Amino acid sequence: MENSHEIKTTIYLALMMLASTLLSLCFFLHQSLRLDEAQSLWQTSRSAVGIITLVSQDVHVPLYHELLHAWRLFFGSSVPAARLLSMLFYLLGIPALYALGRLAYDRQIGLYAALLFSISPFMNWYGNEVRMYSLFTLLVICNQYCFVRLFKRMGDTHQGATWVGYMATALVGIFVHYFFFLNLLAQAAFYFLHADLFPARALRRFIIAAALVTAAFLPWVWFVHLQGQAQNQTPLLSIPTTINLFNTFAQFLFGFQSDAVNTFFLSLWPLTIIFAFLALRRGRLHSPVTEYLLLSAFLSVLIAFAISFITPVFVSRYLIFTVPALYLLLGNLFDSYAPQVGRFARSFVVLVMLVTLGVEIVSAATPVKEDYRDAATFIAQNATAQDVVALSAPFTIYPIEYYYRGQAPITTIPLWNRYAYGPIPPFSAEKLPAQVDSITADHQNVWLLLSYDQGYEQQVKAYFDTHYQRLLAITFSHDLTLYVYKIRYDTVRSQASAAVFAACMLPPKSDA
């Protein structure tokens, strides 16, 4: 009987992994490179030591980048190859989450959480992105597995292997993402609430673990401090609102949807009360593991939200590590319902997730899609050597230059020399005219590609709109728009190009 369950479970997990793999192969691996991914590729194209220096100027920690560097040496430097590394971690996360769920609750809940994980639009997105998020999630799951084993007192008396696993995952985890510390913080909070659940001398071992983590991490902190420029390399983040807070949870469940769809989901927030009401059943005792998962899923998010009022760090992908706990809690919640209600709730959530996954894949309105490939290809096909390509924000040069094979030179607004030491120069409205003059001198047309608004996009666009004739505007994806401006009127060439634009050179996507 037990064997039969094991075989079935293995088959289910294999099917989940297969489904996720197929999704990757069919859709996600072949998407255009996004800004963050381009940055990863650019950073990991350096030497191992160079990567550390570059990443220290960024907002991340370097372990994933070093792994990706090594991976690319073996598997090539194409975008799909790089994404495969993330996919590998993501796929490993499916059985890992099952194991955590089985340990925390039971086989059914573990399987359900793994199913949600495998069809999650949010997890699929980051499971196929050339970033550290799938590795981050996998490590958190492994770390939580060890932590739950500790307070459930599984294994041998001293739980030596579990402690080693716990410390190892913690040590590795902190070098994959800074937010791994929030995971540890939730665990510390749980320990102080339920110290009695842990084996004797657990406090001493946690202190040792904390000392090890601190000792290992301090050199990195010191090194980053020496570099001292991370704040200027990062995209602009604003102070989050409660809408961001709820959007984060909506994204965890339904992925990246258009504003209209998000509004639909968020407006129905009172319905979450029904979920709580239906869980009111006699004898459904709360368990410490549920408390732990609640802390893990919500405390971390709330802390990040609170910190963001001092330093904005509230980005849903940074909080991806709370997703496994959230899915486990959902599984447990539905398990607490009357059987028929539980089955309905489970199926309903799976259905909605599948639909939103489909929408996320197919819809052009998916807000996180960044079609730099089409934009670069279009520019390459249409811009001439007499034209110039201006990118703003400057760091979007990473994905563009990955695809761009055109004749027109590329520059940025504000002007930025990536190879010079130091951060990206800040935008200055006073310097803008001079910078634009320097860019436009000796060129026929400016191909201005705007994305990742850093707070000055409208000023740049307004400047061009008021000083030059706009020939074309094309939106390639959400927040990625190309404007073409005519600079000179004194040559035959410029007259000819104006005629071409006037003939409405329509791109494959929308024409603004």
Partner 1 sequence: MNTTPHNERRRDFLEVDVPKALLCTTGAMSVLYFLVLTFLFRIGNPFLFALLIAGEVYHVWQVLTFIYTTWDTSVLPTPRATYTPPVDVFITVAGEPVALVEETLTAALSMRYPSFTVHILNDGFVAKKENWRDIEALAAKTGVHCITRTIAGGAKAGNINNAMRLTRSPLVAIFDADHVPHEDFLTKTVGYFADPKVGFVQTPQFYKNYATNYVTRGSWEQQELFFGPICRGKNRHHAATMCGTNMLISRRAIEEVGGMCTQSIAEDFITGMFLHERGYTSIYVPEVLAEGLATEDLLTYSKQQFRWARGALDVIFRYNPLLRSGLSWPQKIEYLASASFYLSGIVVLFDLLLPLVFFYTGAVPVQISGMLLAAVFLPYMFLTLYTIERASNFTFTFRSLGFSMGAWTIHLRALISAITYKKASFQITQKSAVSGRFTELVVPHLCYIALGAVGFVVALLRSGWSASLLNNTAWVLINTAIFVPFVVAAFPRGAHETPEPRRKRRLPVSQEIRYGELPRN
Does residue number 283 form part of the binding site for partner 1 (CB under 8 A)?
A: yes
- Backbone angles phi and psi of 481, in degrees to 5: -125, 140
Give, in degrees to the nearest 5, the angle at Cα 225 between 46 and 56: 20
Least separation in angstroms between residue 192's CB and partner 1 is 12
Does residue number 310 form part of the binding site for partner 1 (CB under 8 A)?
A: no
- For 81-85, which contacts have Cβ atoms below 8 Å and span 24 or more sequence positions? 82/37, 82/40, 82/41, 82/130, 83/24, 83/28, 83/29, 83/37, 83/128, 83/129, 83/130, 84/29, 85/130
Does residue number 504 form part of the binding site for partner 1 (CB under 8 A)?
A: no
469-477 sheet: strands from edge to edge: 410-412, 388-392, 445-451, 480-486, 469-477, 510-511
Nearest to 329 by CA among 292, 358, 302, 359: 292
DSSP states along 439-483: HHTT-SEEEEEEES--S-HHHHHHHHHHHSEEEEEEEEETTEEEE
Q: Which is nearer to partner 1, 347 or 381 (CB)?
A: 347
Q: Which is nearer to partner 1, 118 or 308 (CB)?
A: 308
Among the residue ranges 15-23, 224-232, 258-266, 380-388, the one whose residues contact partner 1 (CB under 8 A): 258-266
Beta bridge partners of 412: 391
Least separation in angstroms between residue 55's CB and partner 1 is 34
Q: Give yes or no for a contact between 321 and 183, defined as CB atoms under 8 angstroms apart.
A: yes
Rounded-to-integer distance, Cα 301 and Cα 295, Å: 9
Does residue number 270 form part of the binding site for partner 1 (CB under 8 A)?
A: yes
Least separation in angstroms between residue 340's CB and partner 1 is 13
DSSP code of 311? Answer: S
Least separation in angstroms between residue 365's CB and partner 1 is 17
Rounded-to-integer distance, Cα 362 and Cα 23, Å: 12
Among the residue ranges 161-169, 226-234, 265-273, 406-414, the one whose residues contact partner 1 (CB under 8 A): 265-273
Among the residue ranges 134-142, 243-251, 345-353, 449-457, the one whose residues contact partner 1 (CB under 8 A): 243-251
Rounded-to-integer distance, Cα 295 and Cα 339, Å: 27
Among the residue ranges 49-57, 228-236, 277-285, 370-378, the one whose residues contact partner 1 (CB under 8 A): 277-285
Does residue number 242 form part of the binding site for partner 1 (CB under 8 A)?
A: yes
Does residue number 285 form part of the binding site for partner 1 (CB under 8 A)?
A: yes
Rounded-to-integer distance, Cα 465 and Cα 485, Å: 8
Q: Which two tokens stand for residue 360?
A: 């996320």
133-152 vs 323-335: helix axis angle to the nearest 10? Answer: 50
Does residue number 268 form part of the binding site for partner 1 (CB under 8 A)?
A: yes
Does residue number 42 form part of the binding site for partner 1 (CB under 8 A)?
A: no
Q: Which is nearer to partner 1, 219 or 270 (CB)?
A: 270
From residue 100 to residue 119, what is the string marking binding to partner 1 with x (rule CB under 8 A)?
--------------------
Among the residue ranges 21-29, 85-93, 152-160, 271-279, the one whose residues contact partner 1 (CB under 8 A): 271-279
Least separation in angstroms between residue 286's CB and partner 1 is 7
DSSP code of 486? Answer: E
CA 17 to centroid of chain Cα atoms: 20
Among the residue ranges 115-123, 267-275, 390-398, 470-478, the one whose residues contact partner 1 (CB under 8 A): 267-275
Question: Is the peptide bond prior to 503 cis by the omega test (within 30 degrees of 0)?
Answer: no
Does residue number 192 form part of the binding site for partner 1 (CB under 8 A)?
A: no
The beta strands (E) that lie in 384-451 are given as 388-392, 410-412, 445-451
Q: Which is nearer to partner 1, 219 or 339 (CB)?
A: 339
Rounded-to-integer distance, Cα 101 and Cα 104, Å: 5
Does residue number 219 form part of the binding site for partner 1 (CB under 8 A)?
A: no
Least separation in angstroms between residue 254's CB and partner 1 is 15
Does residue number 272 form part of the binding site for partner 1 (CB under 8 A)?
A: yes
Rounded-to-integer distance, Cα 118 and Cα 194, Å: 32
Q: Which is nearer to partner 1, 272 or 347 (CB)?
A: 272
Q: Which of 47, 267, 340, 466 binds partner 1 (CB under 8 A)?
A: 267
Question: How many residues in the shown chain lie near partner 1 by CB under 8 A?
Answer: 27
Q: Which of 15, 75, 218, 264 binds partner 1 (CB under 8 A)?
A: 264
Does residue number 276 form part of the binding site for partner 1 (CB under 8 A)?
A: yes
The beta strands (E) that lie in 186-246 are given as none
* Interface residue list for partner 1 (CB under 8 A): 241-243, 245-246, 263-264, 266-274, 276-286
